[in-house]
Structures are given as C-alpha cells and as structure tokens.
Copies of this chain bind each other. A is one copy, B any other.
Amino acid sequence: MCEANAYLIKKEEPELIMEAVDVIEPEEDGLKLVSIFGEQKFIKGHIHSLSLIDHKIYLQETPDD
C-alpha cells in the first residue's frame, strides 16, 4: 500500500499527526487529511514537502494571527 504518514513541522522534531494518509485536499483555510481507514483530520496549514519512498508527508501550520 502506498499511503504515507503525515507529520507537522515543529521547532524541534516533526510530530506525527496521522498514519496511513491517502488523500489530502484543500478545505477552507486549511487541509483535510483522510486516512485509508476513513479517519479524517483538519489542519490549518499547507503541504510543505513529500518524501514518498519514505512514506512521509510534511505539513506546516499557518501561524495564528
């Protein structure tokens, strides 16, 4: 299977926020993540980078105003 894990970029270590991500789509001012299990999560941010062979998606949060 070709899903990947989503990490949120933090000052220190990237934080794992969802495993087995299939779909990421823009929604309002952020992103909707959907796993292969149908689990959904909303993140106010954007996709920073990908490393698919490593099964990694890096997301960056939009700072609050």
Residues of chain A whose beta carbon lies under 8 Å from any beta carbon of chain B: 1-4, 21-26, 36, 46-53, 55, 57
Contacts and interface: CB of A to CB of B under 8 A. Distances in A.
Given A46-B46, A47-B47, A53 B4 contact: no
Contacts of A57: 50
> DSSP majority for the A interface?
strand
Number of copies: 2
A51 B26 contact: no
A23 B52 contact: yes
21 contacts: A2-B2, A2-B4, A2-B55, A3-B52, A3-B53, A4-B52, A21-B50, A22-B52, A22-B53, A23-B50, A23-B51, A23-B52, A23-B53, A24-B50, A25-B49, A26-B49, A36-B53, A46-B46, A47-B50, A50-B57, A52-B52
